[in-house]
Structure 1
Amino acid sequence: MTQNLDKLPIESFKRVTIDSSQAEKISKPSMSFWQDAWLRIRKNKAAIVSMVILVLIIIMAFVGPFLSPHEADTQTITHANLPPKVQGFENLGFLDGVGTLGGKEVNLYEMKKVDTYYWFGTDGLGRDLFSRLWEGTQISLFIAFVAAAIDMVIGVIYGGVSAYYGGRVDDIMQRIVEILYGIPNLVVVILMILVMDPGIMAIIIAITLTGWIGMSRIVRGQVLKYKNQEFVLAARTLGASNNRIIGKHLLPNILAIIIINTMFTIPGAIFFEAFLSFIGLGLQPPAASLGTLINDGYKLMQFQPHILLFPSLVISLLMIAFNLLGDGLRDALDPKMKD
């Protein structure tokens, strides 16, 4: 081995010097937590597609009623139960106004001498389903977002106070939660709606009566996890007040789990509102929501399937998109949860 080394010329060896100022230089710019989460969620195609679908549905919920030439509440009995008809599709074999009457396919627009277009058809009272669908979607989304926001606020405050102060405070607050959790949710909701006048406010209150319990339990677990860690103990040792510890140290660390849980709460509220309206305990006619529209379409499913098709399609897209987006946010904001 020594003989082989002796034969190597000195020119084969080169001294390598490293500038100490460049030794620990970061080659890429540093990213914040939210920037890193955005890069992760961009790689999730299902979450991005769901986000686009949700944005389009929300935009249509507000813009859709103004696109149609027909008012949502205008009743024209002579235009009742018309199938969908879109200008320019008459010769393509669909959305051409052809429906079934007496077992035969006929052009109902020509038979009833209707010279206007109803893009999603009409219901039994001759109301435009396109306008009613987007107005109903608007109401359902409003109820869901307000209920989810109230659930988030109450759940975060209740769970955070219970876990942070602990001891007897935690025992009393958790016994209250256990009592509420033991009562069937549907029974509480039905009783509240029967006591109050049916409407948007009654549904929101009914959904939020016990909807915050799940959020409070999650927040309580997270606060119990973080409140005795070193950074919180250090802040307390330096004289930080309870409000500062909660606002500056605990909330930022549990914010991701709050957002994720809220994203799963919204589709649950949409479905629950639709369920209440479907069984007749939600909004009352002539008000429209996805639940009331599905209830109207269910009664005529065999003869006028278009009345059921469009609201069912919208609520299905909302449920799937919110859940897929929630999964994507969970993986992006808290990658450890994926394991």
Structure 2
Amino acid sequence: MQLDKQQLPPEKFERVAIDNESAERITKPSLSFWQDAWLRLRKNKAAVVSIFVLLLLILMAFIGPHLNGHSGDHQEIRHANLPPKIPGIEKLGIFDGVGNMGGQKVDLYEMKKVDEYYWFGTDGLGRDLFTRLWEGTQISLFIAFVASIIDLVIGVAYGGISGYFGGRTDDIMQRIVEILIGIPTLIVVILMILIMDPGIMAIIIAISITGWIGMSRIVRAQILKYKSQEFVLASRTLGAGDGRIITKHLMPNILGIVIINTMFTIPGAIFFEAFLSFIGIGLQPPAASLGTLINDGYKVMEFQPYVLLFPSIVISVLMIAFNLIGDGLRDALDPKMKD
């Protein structure tokens, strides 16, 4: 049985012609490594929020001491141990200057005839805690950033030289690192502070003595990984010197891991400074840092919890923000995390 064949008329067919330029055109714009990393970082909501929170805290560290008109080191004994009182918010029943006295809640501002507002209260010497909090945050951030930059410079240089040149140079440099790792960091810090006067410089030097070791070992491992790659061998074959290979080929490839490690080093330095000040071998009164403020609040925690509350919140938020940003950068700068 033969089926009738139905043919389509020729006018139903249309030739589609594509020129070479349209066929080879790339519709998606090309992105550099850093542009691609930024796009991936923006997808991490926790990291983006942490960036804004961190910028806000850094801004407050600089402008906070000038907002309420009180000096951080001015002592007014008549205003000692006042609870927080904020204009406008006091009508809501919080931060209204009411504190405990003899088991009863009383308005300490009215009782002491104080007509000023202390947003975060005052300490036992009548100093404004709001101003001292942001001055202490400023000092803690300064110590952490300076110590991290020193760790970055020494760690990258030491690890890079050790990994690139290898051989006897690498053996000698790594034996020095192993000796330093075997010495407890706290012992080194205590010895440094005994030699130098306690202060900002002593803490920075003490943190930096052994803080660069972790960075140097990471950089050394990355240099060992990349220096035998084909693009480095090709560059050396074409006559490139050690300086050009390091600056043009090796450093750009390890920059991501260096940035990530630095972001985790900064909160470690903040916590270490706070720890030293808390145990009494860091900054000394009347200087303020987050550690000294937490130490002051710890002593009166039972009766004046607000003295401990605010610096504890700030240091906790700083630690969380830096760690979340570090996690976000690790995912953004890792090529294996591309979607």
State if a TM-score over 0.5 links the two structures: yes
Q: Which letter maps to 1:291? A: G
Q: Deviations over 1:94-136 (max 9, x none)?
A: 0000001111111000111101000000000000001000000
**Does the CA contact (< 8 Å) of 1:65 and 1:135 recur in 2?**
yes
Residue type of the alignment partner of 2:195: V
Give the match for residue 315 of structure 1: 315
Where does 1:231-250 land on structure 2 (aligned, <5 Å)?
231-250=231-250
Cα offset, 1:7, TM superposition: 3.4
Partner of 2:90: 90
Query: What is the 5 A alignment of 1:1-339?
Result: 7-336=7-336
Residue 4 to residue 90, structure 1, CA distance change in 2 (3 Å): farther
Q: Tell me which amino acid in the other structure corresponds to 1:276.
A: L
In structure 2, stretches of 5+ residues that fail to align are none
Amino acid at match of 2:95: L
For 2:14, give the aligned amino acid. Answer: K
Give the partner amino acid of 1:165.
Answer: F
Measured after TM superposition, the shift of residue 184 of structure 1 is 1.1
**Separation in structure 1 between the aligned mates of residue 4 and residue 129 of structure 2, nearest angstrom:** 90
- Structure 2 distance, partners of 1:267, 1:124, is 30
What amino acid is the match of 2:267? P
Alpha-carbon spacing, 1:20–1:92, altered in 2? closer, same or farther (3 Å): same
Check the 8 A contact 1:152/1:262 in 2, yes or no.
yes
**Contact 1:330–1:337, Cα closer than 8 Å, also in 2:** no
Change (3 A) 1:228 1:3: farther
Q: Secondary structure at the match of 2:234?
A: helix
CA contact (8 A) 1:155 1:213 kept: yes
Q: Deviation string for 1:264-294 (max 9, x for gaps)?
A: 0000000000000000010000000000000
Query: For residues 239 and 12 of structure 2, what CA distance do their matches in structure 1 show?
Result: 63
- Secondary structure of the residue aligned to 1:105 is strand
Please tell me the residue identity of whatever aligns with 1:332: A
Instruction: Kindly provide the amino acid, as one letter, of the partner of residue 308 in structure 2.
Output: L
Q: Which amino acid aligns with 2:45?
A: K
Post-superposition offset of 1:10: 3.6
Following TM superposition, by how much is the alpha carbon of 1:4 offset from its aligned partner in structure 2, in angstroms?
8.2
Q: Name which of structure 1's ranges 230-239 and 19-28 shifts more when overlaid on structure 2.
A: 19-28
SS at match of 1:99: strand
TM-score for both structures, normalised by structure 2 = 0.97
Q: Deviations over 1:315-338 (max 9, x none)?
A: 000000000000001111114379
Question: Is 1:163–1:221's contact at 8 Å kept on the other side of the alignment?
Answer: yes
Q: CA RMSD in A?
A: 1.6
Query: Aligned residues, how many?
Result: 338
| Cα deviation code 1:140-189 (max 9, x no counterpart) | 00000000000000000000000000001001101111111111111111
**Matched residues in 1 for 2:276 and 2:293: separation?**
12
CA contact (8 A) 1:62 1:138 kept: yes
Alignment partners' CA distance in 1, 2:34 and 2:284: 43
**Structure 1 residue identity aligned to 2:231:** F
Shift of 1:204: 0.3
Give the letter for the 1:63 counterpart.
I
For the residues of structure 2 that align with 1:12 and 1:48, how far apart are their CA atoms?
A: 55
- Greater shift, 80-89 or 23-32, is seen at 23-32
SS of the equivalent of 1:314 reads helix
Q: Which runs of 5+ in 1 are unaligned?
A: none
User: Could you give the per-residue CA deviations for residues 15-71 of structure 1, whole angstroms, max 9, x where no partner exists?
Assistant: 332211222211132111111111111111100110000000000000001112110
* Distance in 2 (alpha carbons) for counterparts of 1:15 and 1:91: 78
Which secondary structure state, in structure 2, belongs to the residue aligned with residue 53 of structure 1?
helix
Letter in 1 for 2:201: M
Secondary structure, aligned partner of 1:106:
strand
